[in-house]
Structure 1
Amino acid sequence: MSTLSMSVGEKIRAIREAESLTREEFGVLLDIPIGTLKRYETNRIGSVGGDVLMKIAQHPQFTKYTMWLMTGNIAPEVDQISPALSPDGQNSISSPQNGQKAG
């Protein structure tokens, strides 16, 4: 599925799965009820509230996805990636310029 056609709920699910987290684990980290999270991910709730988006964007484990979550764009040079570019899940990405951890 193209990033442009993904709903915010689908993006939340992609982030959670890229980080190898269950809904329960993700919900606990962000203080989001599991039922609410499931409804977001399955598009039963059409609009994700700004408070939920801020919880994800400001959580240290998920800040690398902020630009992609909000706009669908990425900027790896400033550590803004999509879940597809995070094969190591919870680990930070490496900077291709110098081989050091970027996050």
Structure 2
Amino acid sequence: MENDFSYKLRAIRLAEGLTQPALNKVTGLPLSSIKNYESGGNMVGLETVKRILTVERFQKYTLWLMIGKTSEAAGQISPPLAHTGRAKTESPLLTDRAG
């Protein structure tokens, strides 16, 4: 879960257009902790998650941050930078072959 959280925290921060110092100001989390969370160096506790999710602009990511799911009907989304669905695997068909 730690690597998953590291990825998710960074995705949320980038989606909201925040630097690590700006995230520090918004959440009150120490800058060194934010850097360690994003690099996977620190364990993340429930209090840290609560501090992030009590910030109103991050509440739309609660479901995704906690369990990796979204519910657009309930206003729960993932950041646009996060890949949560199937990757597009289609390739253009070759309609004109030489030879």
Same fold (TM over 0.5): yes
Pick the aligned partner of 2:11 from 14, 19, 24.
14
Cα displacement (A) at 1:20: 0.4
Cα displacement (A) at 1:72: 0.1
Answering whether residue 95 of structure 2 is matched by residue 75 of structure 1, we say: no
Answering whether residue 49 of structure 2 is matched by residue 53 of structure 1, we say: yes
| Aligned positions of 1:24-103 closer than 5 A | 24-45=21-42, 47-84=43-80
**Post-superposition CA distance 1:42-88 (Å, at most 9, x none):** 1011x2111110011121010000000000000001100000279xx
Change (3 A) 1:23 1:74: same
CA distance in structure 2 between the aligned counterparts of 1:77 and 1:58, rounded to whole angstroms: 21
Unaligned runs of 5+ residues in structure 1 are 87-103
Whether the aligned pair in 2 keeps the contact of 1:9 and 1:48 (CA below 8 Å) is no
> Any runs of at least 4 consecutive aligned residues in structure 1 with deviations exceeding 2 A, and if so which?
none
Q: Give the number of aligned pairs.
A: 81
Q: Give me the TM-score of the superposition, normalised by structure 1.
A: 0.73
Q: Give me the TM-score of the superposition, normalised by structure 2.
A: 0.76
Change (3 A) 1:79 1:40: same
Unaligned runs of 5+ residues in structure 2 are 83-99
Which one has a bigger Cα radius of gyration? 2
